[in-house]
Chain A
Amino acid sequence: MNFVTEVKTLVKENIRDYGMYIALFVIMLTFTILTDGLFMSSRNISNLLDATGYIAVLAVGMTLVIVIRHIDLSVGFAAGFLGAIAAILLTQFGVPVYFTIPIILALGVVIGLFNGALVASIGIPSFVASLAGMLIFRGALLQVTEKTGTIIIKDKYFNAIGNGYIPSIMEVNGLHLLSLIIGLLCIVLYMYSEISARRNKIKYNFEVVSKGVFALKLVFISAIIAYITWILAGYNGFSWTVIIMLAVVAGYHFLTTKTVLGRHIYAVGSNPDAAHLSGINVKKITYIVFCSMGFLSALSGILFTSRLQSATTTAGTLFELDAIAAAYVGGVSSAGGVGKVTGAIIGAIVMASLSSGMNLLGVGISYQYMIRGGVLALAVIFDVMTRKKRK
């Protein structure tokens, strides 16, 4: 098989996985051309990623919830409510930030536990259970912010989570040094893991792609990482939001692809009856997925509150729908058992890119909603079509 045909068949076989990346690339390229390069400027990309953070972490959790055939509508106001609690702890009770954050994250898990109990133990449909949760948290948010209105946070460490950047050590030609180092480390780590995986496969006598294609893939992905690092290093470097987002994706990607727990989650989503008969505790898995969702809601609440440097009475409005949209754009299937965490992040970035690009172009908000809706529908249509083709 020669080089070109090998690449062609690879793309053909994995069109579903590559589709989103291609879509993202096309969207970014279009906006870059339309805005004379403004879209890909360091400042814009940095802002775009920071604005994606609090939705992206929700989308990761939501992907797993949808994978096990459930939905969680309560995450938006749960995030808003927990963000407000964080603000109250910091300002009114003077709890230091290093206590506040673990408390909020733990509260998130408790909320997840509550949702999990309703869905897994009592057997209420998750749509209804989480709709109830949504109303309850909305009310709770209004209740705790009723007297004070918007709560302004002055804690600079807390605010750094949503607005700050990692220290730079020193600047090289106006570039952020530590960010460059992190980017370089990522590339080295990526290359190392790919090469060792390939070597392992060869050891087991499995089929691997040819050396040429492998090298091309390494160079391609490394170049993308390098490019993004270079762009971000040109502004303020990696923000804490981006670091947190990367950590969440890395952690969840590992969890879902490499661990027994991850496999059990997908098994439950694929066929709950078969999972039960395979000795998997379906109830436990449902609890775990909802708890993880609660945890990520809390994280999202912290990111958003910190970004605004305040807790508002409407924080979290429509977050859940943005997260669900991102998950679907990222390729999750409501039939269960199918969907990737990395897809969710790309989905979130696609949606954020659309907003950002259209803002730069001065597209009216009414058209923005319609276009984003259209893209969501297209993404799902593409998904359904490619799946049909396989059969």
Chain B
Amino acid sequence: MESNQSNDNYHLFSFNGDGLELFKIQIVNWLLTLITFGFYYPWAKAASLKYNYQKTIFSGSPFIFHGTGKEMFKGFLKLVGIIVVFYAAIGILSLLGSRIFMVIGMIVLYAGILFAIPFAVHGSLRYRTSRSSWRGIHFGYRGERRSLAVLFLKGILLSIITLGIYGAWFITDLRRYIIKHIRFGNLTFEYTGQGGDFFWLRLTGGFLSIITGGIYLPWFVVDLYNYFLENIKVTQNGKPLVFENNMSGGSLWGLLIVNFLITICTLGLASPWAQVRTFKYIAQHIWVEGEFDANALEQTEEAYKDATGEDLADYLDINLI
């Protein structure tokens, strides 16, 4: 039996998840989280991730998420510790009653959080990639914590000084650094986006979204996605692979409106169906073009153990890449 390979030059994604199945999984997650006073949360998260990975098929084979609740539990505990310390510090500061103490204290606390972000992103990338595989080949991230932190803090500083204008260059730099250090077997990745292009793209898109009262927003989002995907260059044995996509603002509008309605009308109970619709939409509209040899990936990454970043990033609501 041949596995369903995509056409030679087109390599497709599909998402086979089912809203009802995901819904049932979430009910189990809620129930167990409830009776364990929240401590089941990492296991619940692992289960949802595993489901979504397993249902995402590329070129005939599913992805696998290997992370476990136990691994993420350690990260979760550290995170809870950090949150407790953070709120305790705020509590103590407010008890001291002095305004100056309060202001200085808050600045120190928020600066601390800002410093923690690149570390969280680094840990999260390391963990998430190492626990993801396709056809038995693991992803990997080889970036250095310190380089990312320097890049991040420089970017924040310049963004503040330039009142946010530098933001486009900052995000571009981050993407370039992170994507360059992602490994998948012997595939290499590169991000070719330019800060200047990205700046104008965001400026015009943002402007059009504002003057149309938000109607243009889905087209803007599609443009941002396009720009991001277009600029990821993947190379296998010297041969280029590119991401293509045919999303459109109109179809994205349709997706968002229906998702919004089914979620609101059911007080959030139907959110698994909305999630499945979103994943299906993305999988349907993105494909890889080029001479990809699905059999020729070699295992290049080593086992990696540490899950602190995973939940820290989750809490800080960082969207990876």
Is the pairing of A and B real?
no
B interface residues, Cβ below 8 angstroms from A: none
